[in-house]
Amino acid sequence: MYKAILLEATCRSDVVKVENYPVQAAEVLSQGKGASTGLLIMFGDKAYYIPNAAEDLKTTIEKTVDLLTSLNEALTKIGTTLTSIGAGMTGPTTAPPPTLAADVVEINSKVTALNAVKSSLNTLKGALK
């Protein structure tokens, strides 16, 4: 009966190394071709390298949260501006567009949705530490 052996490893250009020693015939279980750190699983005469994707995922989440924050700020500013414009318009010649109120409500609902996604991503990012 074989026992699995787990070792910390690195991979660069499909060459897997453990403590700087190359591992022959290790199958890289990844779509990416960039340098990575991960685990080498040895089982009998087979060796498999699994990259640690948590750092890449964490970076992607951080960038997404930053983007959502920027979008949220922009939509909030647009909604506030539209509300001010609508409030300042009086009389028949300066009446606001008929869809203004609905547009502001839609923008505010998008801001709420962005905040919910951002909160979920921050929770996930925290779990990756």
For residue 29, what pLDDT is reported? 84
Are 101 and 86 a contacting pair, CB within 8 Å?
A: yes
Structure tokens at 122: 């921050």
The label of the residue with tokens 């996930």 reads 124
For residue 99, what pLDDT is reported? 76
- Per-residue pLDDT 10s for the chain (129 aa) are 668 889 999 998 889 999 999 998 899 887 666 788 889 999 888 899 988 876 667 777 788 888 888 888 888 888 888 877 777 776 666 666 677 778 788 888 888 888 888 888 888 777 665
Q: Distance between CA atoms of 128 and 58, rounded to whole angstroms? A: 7
For residue 91, what pLDDT is reported? 64
pTM of the predicted model as reported, rounded to 2 decimal places: 0.48
Q: Distance between CA atoms of 101 and 85, rounded to whole angstroms? A: 11
For residue 111, what pLDDT is reported? 84
